[in-house]
């Protein structure tokens, strides 16, 4: 699954909403036995899946942004759609995170780290853990130091 989702877009608000719409249409089609409606439901579900498996990530992202802009104008429903999206994303788990690249949260965290590093640049030296990539800081001017990563316990040597 991980390999399959690699480089693919994954779930978003639009796909998730289409999925819900498709299921509702399929139910209605069954209840009222309307054949055309069940075909429409199938088409909607196929579109939702095709979007998730798409490799044209920027195009899918644009579609989703447009959809979210429109959906946000509808009170309550717009909010629900935003929530649906986040639960859909967590269902996809790490596979979708890898496929999507950096998320908004990642970018925010990176910005915070950069800000902190700039602030402490005169008193601290920074190094990246070679094993897990965590940013570590050590006091400056202490010469050679052995640092242990608090996250993965890797030990490394650094000059500060």
Based on the shown chain and the rule CB under 5 A, indicate whether residue 66 belongs to the binding site for Zn ion. Answer: no
Strand 124-128 to strand 135-139: parallel, antiparallel, or no bridges (unpaired)? antiparallel
Based on the shown chain and the rule CB under 5 A, indicate whether residue 39 belongs to the binding site for Zn ion. Answer: no
Q: Choose, by CB under 5 A, the member of 132, 140, 142, 159 that binds Zn ion.
A: 132
Based on the shown chain and the rule CB under 5 A, indicate whether residue 127 belongs to the binding site for Zn ion. Answer: no
CA–CA distance, 78 with 14 (Å, rounded to integer): 11
- Closest CB to Zn ion among 38 and 154? 154
Maximal CA-CA distance, the chain = 78
- Contacts for 141 with CB less than 8 Å, ≥ 6 apart: 160
Based on the shown chain and the rule CB under 5 A, indicate whether residue 131 belongs to the binding site for Zn ion. Answer: yes
Token pair recorded at residue 129: 């853990």
Nearest approach in angstroms of CB 133 to Zn ion is 7
Site string for Zn ion, 140-159 (x = CB under 5 A): ---------x-xx-x-----
CA–CA distance, 63 with 71 (Å, rounded to integer): 12
Nearest approach in angstroms of CB 127 to Zn ion is 11
The closest of 85, 11, 81 to 48, measured between CA atoms, is 11
Token pair recorded at residue 38: 């069940």
Nearest approach in angstroms of CB 90 to Zn ion is 25
Nearest approach in angstroms of CB 147 to Zn ion is 10
- Contacts for 42 with CB less than 8 Å, ≥ 6 apart: 22, 26
Binding part of the chain for Zn ion, among 17-25, 46-54, 78-86, 132-140 by CB under 5 A, reads: 132-140
- Write out the residues near Zn ion by the rule CB under 5 A: 129, 131-132, 134, 149, 151-152, 154
């Amino acid at each position: 699954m991980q390999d399959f989702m690699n480089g693919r877009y994954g779930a978003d608000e639009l796909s998730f909403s289409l999925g819900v719409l498709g299921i509702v249409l399929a139910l209605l089609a069954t209840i009222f036995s309307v054949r055309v409606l069940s075909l429409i439901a199938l088409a909607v579900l196929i579109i939702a899946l095709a979007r998730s498996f798409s490799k044209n990530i920027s195009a899918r992202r644009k579609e989703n942004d447009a959809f979210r802009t429109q959906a946000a104008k509808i009170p309550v429903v717009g909010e629900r759609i935003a929530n649906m999206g986040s639960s859909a994303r967590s269902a996809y788990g790490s596979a979708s995170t890898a496929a999507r690249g950096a998320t908004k949260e990642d970018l925010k965290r990176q910005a915070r780290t950069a800000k902190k590093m700039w602030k402490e640049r005169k008193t601290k030296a920074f190094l990246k853990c070679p094993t897990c990539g965590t940013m570590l800081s050590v006091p400056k001017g202490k010469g050679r130091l052995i640092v242990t990563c608090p996250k993965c316990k890797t030990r490394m040597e650094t000059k500060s």
